[in-house]
Amino acid sequence: MSSALDRRHPDRAAASPDGNPAVDQGLVPPWRLRRHAAARRASTGRSRWSGWLYMMPALLVYGVFVLVPMGRTVQYSFYDWDGVGPATSVGFDNYRRVFTDPELISTIVHAFELLGFFTVIPIVVGLVVSSLVREVATGRFGTVARTTLFLPQIVPLVAAAIAWSWMYSSQGLVNQTLSLVGLDGLTRPWLSDFTWALPAVGLIGSWVMTGLCTVLFLSGMAKIDRSLYEAARVDGAGPIREFFAITLPGLRQEIGVCVMITIIAALASFDVIYASTQGGPGRATLVPGVAIFRLAFTEHQVGLASALAIVLTLLVLACVLPIQRLVAEKNP
């Protein structure tokens, strides 16, 4: 058998990348794998259908409470409905409004602005911090550190919003600190300021996400082969080179996961904004999540809310999938 495999099979060059590097590297011809698979399938034919039986309960609940609602959201988005009376079909009108109404467009813009705070800052800070503390985050101290850094993920987002709202208020910690260092002129009610409300809310998101990313990266770093660093040091690489050449690539998966989680958190954000600014002042912090809630349940415009929800979903997918692809592709 090995002799057949040792020979480079003529099919190999023609075979498209299988996703299976064993095939790509010419170690195993694809047809051989398929034969194995077929043989295997034949022997486990019966359990292939019982597998579905085991899946049914989960798929049922999922279907009823997730897929059907999603389908209905799509359906609602083509109607003008106040949620109580009869509905009128309006075709793509709602979608047109989502893309032409400046208020609704601004919500999407705000969501993307939040990306900087929910994603970029936590990842950058997480990378920097974990690189710096890699050595010291061990033992008892390390456990305490990890626990502390994880707290923002444990605390309900509403509570985080309340805590930060208080810090941002006219008498809160932020203004108090500014006064202490003599920057009295900069004090203001941050969450009511048209320019600073969104960054302020974004910072809440940074607070929530940074700990998670840091701990994730710390654990990811623990898996990177020490010998790589030693080799690099021998070659004369400084800490910066080490970081970019070894740490960063080694953390690819973790970064990917972090990016994914934070992007979804940023674009779909609701809790934090609802509990802190409600979208104000004016509409400066209005994000799609809050707009959808308000349109559907306060302003009784269910169709428009549904259209915005679908647009939001597509946006999330559009952001998340390429990242996933990017992270996955370079894997060995």
Structural contact between residues 213 and 117, judged by C-beta atoms closer than 8 angstroms: no
Structural contact between residues 287 and 308, judged by C-beta atoms closer than 8 angstroms: no
CB of 20 to another protein, least distance (A): 5
The encoded tokens of residue 151 equal 């707290």
Largest Cα span, the chain: 81
CB of 162 to another protein, least distance (A): 5
Nearer to another protein, 232 or 316 (CB): 316
Nearer to another protein, 176 or 231 (CB): 176
Nearer to another protein, 113 or 266 (CB): 266
Nearer to another protein, 113 or 131 (CB): 131
CB of 260 to another protein, least distance (A): 7
- Cis ω before 30 (30° cut-off from 0): no
Cα-Cα-Cα-Cα dihedral sign, residues 245, 222, 320, 156: negative
- CA angle (226, 328, 255) in 5-degree steps: 55
DSSP 36-57: HHHHHHHHTHHHHHHHHHHHHH
Nearer to another protein, 245 or 313 (CB): 313
Interhelix angle for 68-76 vs 302-329, to 10°? Answer: 120
Give the up-direction half-sphere exposure of residue 81: CA atoms within 13 A in the CB hemisphere: 21
CB of 235 to another protein, least distance (A): 17
CB of 116 to another protein, least distance (A): 18
CB of 10 to another protein, least distance (A): 19
User: Residue 92 CA to chain centroid, in angstroms?
Assistant: 29
Nearer to another protein, 113 or 255 (CB): 255
- Burial string for 31-67 (b: 16+ CB within 10 Å, else e) reads eeeeeeeeeeeeeeeeeeeeeeeeeeeeeeeeeeeee
CB of 273 to another protein, least distance (A): 11
Nearer to another protein, 159 or 231 (CB): 159
